[in-house]
Structure 1
């Protein structure tokens, strides 16, 4: 019987890699993680979710100060430099790293620092920073290497005025005007962050609408509020070339427009971190976006090699990655039935934020599924009026006959928190997942959650017989 160093060997210490290793260790399997950064946490902790959301929180606090009536009474509005706002993130990152490092020590998970590549289907070569190569073996291997911003070859990212969503966290000054190419989730989030700092923003979208996967009404609301914040949104535009000089950046568009700014943030897609893994040694091949194909058990075409997190593409969310890692580890130890993560809520941290779960109006209409709508506007809630968070709405889509909830869409303060109330009800079996729950349940007052009761009553009032 072949002896391996570990039962489960994980490449990457982001959310998916960490959860895979922890799940294995909790079930008495020998587990190890290989991480090419000097500290654990992966891109999520150091370059993605944690720093960008900490930055957003600082900007949101600034906006509340500048727009609150009480603060206007005691002084003028304030502006803070981008690097100062960003400094908030460093403290959060330190706490995250300290906490996650303790997970490994407490659970007996070995940590190997270096860049891994395959030797064969059970062996990895780990090149350490001093050039020494260490070989480690595992019965099963989990690829959790994450992703990085896509960089087209014709854009010079070495220029000090050209950034991607990783390097923008190294920006040392506050630009007067920034161009953001790519109006996906990351582009929209940074558009609201920079505009909140008083920076002029031009957001270039190559599609007809912002975040077209959202419910149409929410997409339109986002477009309106970004413009209300001062963001210039340009739809149906594609770049022709980028001209970066000592004095600024000129973005040449195929439409003939020439947009000028002090800096360019390129946020147009991401690429899986698979190019240095020597996948050919184990019979694997990534697609053109660097992503790997897996089955419902997160196995690649080489059965003892799994892939989880951003490296397999959609939904590319930290929340989903945690669950994917757990599922892969469960399959590795022999569990036959595991959860395949395909029903996660959408969480977008613009200002205001967006979250949704279930079907959109367009999806229901295209599928010819009858539905009705219930809405609650935050400006009509007591908590929204008290807190000054009166922008946005909660929208419930439901079956007019059974009252079963088909979709929930929220735009406004704490949307990513509020959505989980509706999500929990939608997951109930039988008659428990209907609109009636919100009618027959007493909510604390005043709360933002009370919007569910208001929206449910609004929806019922649209039906004849109620």
Structure 2
């Protein structure tokens, strides 16, 4: 081991919490370094959140062309060029990477590109991508290594070289028949997108429903949406064996028989990137799932070492990673902030979107929380009628003997944007009547909230 270089902060991994912390502390005069092996800025701007939404928007454009006749537009003489779809995505990613590099330059934080691993407490050795090595020691070290798509040990699965979201978002061809393993957020977003590009698509989900932790009315609407668009949905289907090679020909043996396709996409969960980084040499413990053990302040079992984001078991969303940054910054600068009790908003970027915050009906029942339910169909929202997008609904849970909003779910156009309105009201502790009686702009999607909260049953 070479003589360690001293830093106030060393971050292993460049995802949201770590990079934001490095930029903040470096801007205040601290010496900060971020070690990243490949993706500058982490997975979100490179291979996950933002690239997927870019590709999904291209798929929506294709769907609009396909149904152009309904809007008075001739719908003949067009085709999907996946190379152009990919290049549009790559151009966006290049711009985001440059934006990150400018943040490093402006803040003074150092970006060290290479493979990092602990070799001693608070000490990281980096095998540099350009050759050679460096050893960095931080007064404070933050583990921010993220997660990756999980491959289980199903016979033949790994050998079939399946796509993950990383490879799927970089395809330059339209799969003839894409089989998607997993009916969660990633699987459903990409299933719809590739169906709209022109692929035959089959979704295989081992549970009895898609996104099975959501309320039944949500899962039923999502499944109906996919089936209406021509996606084959097989729920309650166990996978036994995989034969062939993705990109050529694959055959799946399942509890419901054989399924043959050209491409296989695995979207069955995430695995933390905590293996092979020398945590044992730093005194950092992991749990049975491989996540770094942290307390509600994001401290690990090693003095002076913290962890944040996916690798620490935080909900796997960039917006939660950004809140982990706020927790870290507060606790490292004399404050006292915890991860418990915070709101976790969810958004599934199918078209239309699904968005939820607070309690679902299922969660309320499981916790014994009594509530009043308000629900309106999307065709009651006049803006949805102007868009000819009336599939879906708004629903809200309000406490039984009070006016506090307990939860909100939207399935419809711009659901994620409408969600933010209700979430802010919940954060502010406003009664549901504040939204019921607000003067909301007409015609907008948010205007539907007045109708929704007007339908709350009386106490």
The interval holding the TM-score normalised by the smaller chain is over 0.9
User: Bigger shift: 385-394 or 68-77?
Assistant: 68-77
Equivalent pair of 1:12/1:143 in contact (CA under 8 Å): yes
Correspondence list, 1:190-339, <5 A: 190-245=190-245, 247-253=248-254, 255=255, 257-339=257-339
Distance 1:360 1:156, change over 3 A: closer
| Aligned equivalents of 1:365, 1:296: Cα separation in 2 | 26
Give matches, 1:112-261, under 5 Å.
112-153=112-153, 154-155=155-156, 157=158, 159=160, 162-245=162-245, 247-253=248-254, 255=255, 257-261=257-261
The question of whether the paired residues in 1 share the 8 Å contact of 2:398 and 2:432 is answered with yes
Give per-residue Cα distances to partners, 1:401-455, cap 9 Å, x unaligned.
32221110011111111101000111123xxx22211222100000000010010
After the TM superposition, which residues 30-41 of structure 1 pair with which residues of structure 2 at under 5 Å, given as runs? 30-37=31-38, 40-41=40-41
| TM-score, normalised via structure 2 length | 0.93
User: Greater CA deviation, 90-99 or 75-84?
Assistant: 75-84
Residue aligned with 1:202, SS: strand
**Retained in 2: the 8 A contact 1:327–1:340?**
no
Cα deviation 1:180-204 (Å, max 9, x = unaligned) = 1111111111111112212111111
Q: Does 1:61 align with 2:58?
A: no
The structural deviation recorded for 1:11 is 1.1
- 2:158, 2:174 → 1: CA distance? 19
Task: Tell me, in whole angstroms, the C-alpha distance in 1 between the residues paired with 2:208 and 2:373.
Answer: 25
Q: Secondary structure at the match of 2:376?
A: strand
User: Does structure 2 conserve the Cα–Cα contact (< 8 Å) formed by 1:10 and 1:142?
Assistant: yes
What is the alpha-carbon distance in structure 1 between the residues aligned to residue 142 and residue 248 of structure 2?
46
Match in the other structure for 2:393: 393
After alignment, is 390-399 or 139-148 more displaced? 390-399
**Contact 1:371 1:400 survives alignment (8 Å):** yes
1: CA distance, partners of 2:232 / 2:249:
18
CA deviation string 1:77-133 (max 9, x = no partner):
744144432332112111211111111111111111111011111211010124411
SS at match of 2:326: helix
Number of corresponding residues: 454
- Among 444, 452, 457, the alignment partner of 1:455 is 452
Q: Report the Cα offset of residue 69 of structure 1.
A: 4.0
Match of 1:23 in 2: 24
Structure 1 residue 156: deviation in Å? 5.0
CA distance in 1, matches of 2:444, 2:256: 50
Aligned counterparts of 2:219 and 2:314: Cα–Cα separation in 1:
20
Which range moves more in the overlay, 137-146 or 10-19? Answer: 10-19
Q: 1:192 to 1:344 in 2, by over 3 A?
A: same
Instruction: Quote the residue 1:442 is aligned against.
Output: 439
Aligned partner of residue 134 in structure 1, secondary structure: strand
Q: What is the distance in 1 between the residues matched to 2:5 and 2:337? A: 26
| Contact 2:5/2:135 (8 A) holds in 1 | no
Shift in CA distance, 450/51, structure 1 to aligned 2, threshold 3 Å = same
Q: Aligned to 1:34, what secondary structure does the other structure show?
A: strand
Tell me which moved more, 104-113 or 27-36.
27-36
Q: Any unmatched runs of 5+ in structure 1?
A: none
Measure how far apart 1:49 and its partner are.
Answer: 0.8
SS at match of 2:195: helix
Give the TM-score of the pair, scaled to structure 1: 0.92
Matched-pair contact (CA < 8 Å) for 1:68–1:388: no
Whole-angstrom distance in 2 between the partners of 1:452 and 1:130: 55
Return the alpha-carbon distance in structure 2 between the equivalents of residues 424 and 185 of structure 1. 24
